[in-house]
Amino acid sequence: MAPSPTGDLHVGSARTALFNFLIARRSGGSFVLRIEDTDAERSDMEKEAGIYDGLRWLGLQWDEGPDVGGPYGPYRQSERHEIHHEAVAALMADGHAYRDYTTAEERAAEREGQRERGEPQRYSGLGRRLTNAQIDERKAAGVVPAVRYRSEPDAVTFDDLVLGSITVGPDDIDDFVIARGDGSALYNMAVVVDDHHMQISHVIRGKDHVSNTFRQVLLYEALDWAPPRFGHLPLVVNERRQKFSKRDGAQWLGDYRAQGYLPEVLCNFLIFLGWAPVDEREIFSLDELVQEFSLQRVNRADAVFDTQRLDHFNGVWIRGLDIDDLAARALPYAAADGLTIGPADHDYFAAALALEQERLSHLNKTAELMDFFFDQDLNPDMRQAKFTKHDPSETAQALVRVSELIAQAESYDDATLEQQMRELAGQLGWKAGDLFMPVRVAVTGRRATPPLFATMEVLGRDRCQVRIQRAVKNLAALTGGSI
């Protein structure tokens, strides 16, 4: 994996890592993390750390890698230059590669001529045809040559674990560059050398790498090495079946984490971007996926990134969590959004969260749903009660009776509160719902909340008393100061 410019893990890379992880675990193999950091401008330890953080958050622990070691290190490509150089030199010695002394201007002019003639724009092998005198002249002028693989006019075929047998014609692969002028290997050369020396058995990646794989197959053959098995996953597209882009929303794993998605949800969702189970099941843990996954059930068609399905999965997983587990996960989000929750409040937080669990869609919505539980200064706007059947004065008098009921109740629990409140509504000659709404607004400041009496039980007698007394004062203000 190449470090990303953002220092975060792209969701497409996360999906690829997940598929590789599952194959390794299901087959009893090793999941290998190699950092392909040959692009010095975009590679540093901070950006590399983003890969580690994202994979660990998903639960995809690797068996070999830069930070854990292993028998085939080093696991950073930037530390493997000598191994790459040896392979490049071997290809040149056998005539499979050559130094290309053509200039950037010559290659650009060649492409422009091809474009004007309506021909495919590809390198013609001009560097092969330079005479020794021309090469000497260019050396004297300071031209730094790249190293190119010498393609032959033959078809190239490989058997893909997902796509089946694939072939390109003899004119589809030109003399491609395998090393820069400074001698450093380019991607196709470096990964072939590293996969061989690390004894990689399977390489699973996106379908956009198929063209690279043909070139890599040629390099394996030229070096007389057996290639690994390749599998190319379908591309991820948006709901319009176009290439997934920034305007389609988040693309980085950290964005989804910040939005309150569970890591289990991302794994559960990403696996369906190209794979289908044998039955209609949708919800899978990582351990279950290890047992169920196979490349034989990976689709060839592009995979649609359906955000609504992702949200559905998140809701299902949140509702299925043990409340203590959910509270531990939700607490950092709630605190980050301003809820003051001390160590002594953790049990209270969990009890309140249990009431909101059915309505919580994303962990970053925790504070939005639960802030009224922690608002010590909540001062309810009683106009929300609407007063369709009973005016503010009557409502205030009813709330005074509710306050007296709360003070005198021997048992302050959900069932007792509901029973006594229904009895009070009958004594007042009110419908139960007409009493419950102003009580709800008084103790929560909202019209829509979890079940009223369970909420009152969690809030506690003292909080409810204080809030109802404030509500009575607010109603008095609506009536000119008298009740």
Task: Kindly list the catalytic residues.
Answer: 246
Angstrom CA distances, 99 to 125, 134, 183, 436, stand at 11, 13, 11, 84
> Which pair of structure tokens corresponds to residue 339?
């809820």
- By DSSP bridging, strand 236-237 and strand 229-233 are unpaired
* Cα 44 to Cα 393: distance, rounded to the nearest angstrom: 68
**Pick from 230, 225, 226: nearest CA to 90:** 225
**Cis bond leading into 74, ω under 30°?**
yes
**Pick from 46, 42, 50, 54: nearest CA to 78:** 42
415: Cα separation from own chain's centroid = 43
Q: SS3 of 150, please?
A: coil
**Pick from 237, 315, 236, 263: nearest CA to 13:** 236
Residue 147 region, left (φ>0) first, then alpha (ψ -120 to 50), else beta?
beta
* Cα 303 to Cα 276: distance, rounded to the nearest angstrom: 11
**Pick from 82, 91, 38: nearest CA to 219:** 91
* Cα 18 to Cα 8: distance, rounded to the nearest angstrom: 16
Burial grade of 206 (CB within 10 A; 0-12, 13-18, 19 or more): middle
* Cα 156 to Cα 162: distance, rounded to the nearest angstrom: 18
> Which pair of structure tokens corresponds to residue 38?
């040959």
Angstrom CA distances, 172 to 110, 138, 212, 222, stand at 17, 29, 12, 18
Strand partners of residue 229: 202
> Which pair of structure tokens corresponds to residue 148?
């190119």
